[in-house]
Amino acid sequence: MHTSKFCLNPAGDTPSACRLFDAIVSLCVPVIVSDSIELPFEDVIDYRKVAIFVRTKDSLQPGYLTNLLRGVSTERILEFQKELKQVYLTTLLMTSLRRSSSSDPSRMKLLCFAC
């Protein structure tokens, strides 16, 4: 996942599943296949800046996803990854740190590693 540019998040994947979080941490652009999905932290994350959304019926067309993703420019991928890093650092990591003890050394190592 750490070397992938895109990470598939198919319909039926629950918002609490780790797949989306793993993609964000890996700076792998989530490709969310769903017609309607509730995403975690929607009130603070603009998912249009960090993910590609695909309608279910479109995803079922042979070659659709491959052609769509091949059409994403390197510059656009880098923009997605820049936004993903910001989401990770400002939202997910800070939420995680707030929930744990501030004196937890493993959390501080994670914070330093991410920067």
Give domain status of residue 51, yes or no. Answer: yes
pTM of the entire predicted model = 0.76
Query: For the chain, what is the domain count?
Result: 1
Confidence at residue 28, expressed as pLDDT on a 0 to 100 scale? 96
Give domain status of residue 105, yes or no. Answer: no
Query: Which residue's structure tokens are 């994670």?
Result: 110
CA angle centred on 7, ends 33 and 56, rounded to 5°: 10
Give domain status of residue 71, yes or no. Answer: yes
Give domain status of residue 104, yes or no. Answer: no
pLDDT per residue as tens digits for the range 55-113: 999 999 999 999 999 999 999 999 999 999 999 888 766 666 666 555 555 544 444 34
Confidence at residue 58, expressed as pLDDT on a 0 to 100 scale? 96
Give domain status of residue 18, yes or no. Answer: yes
Rounded mean pLDDT of 52-56?
96
CA distance 73 to 85: 19
Give domain status of residue 109, yes or no. Answer: no
Per the structure, the complete domain to which residue 25 belongs is given by 6-87
Q: In what order do the strands lie in the sheet with 29-33?
A: 6-9, 29-33, 52-54
Alpha helix ranges (H) inside 1-115: 18-25, 56-59, 64-70, 74-87, 93-99, 105-114
CA distance 44 to 54: 21
Give domain status of residue 53, yes or no. Answer: yes
Is the separation of the CB atoms in 35 and 58 below 8 Å?
Answer: no
Higher pLDDT, residue 52 or 90: 52
Give domain status of residue 107, yes or no. Answer: no
Pick from 66, 30, 67: nearest CA to 51? 30
Q: Band the pLDDT of 44: cuts 50, 70, 90.
A: confident
Q: Band the pLDDT of 115: cuts 50, 70, 90.
A: very low
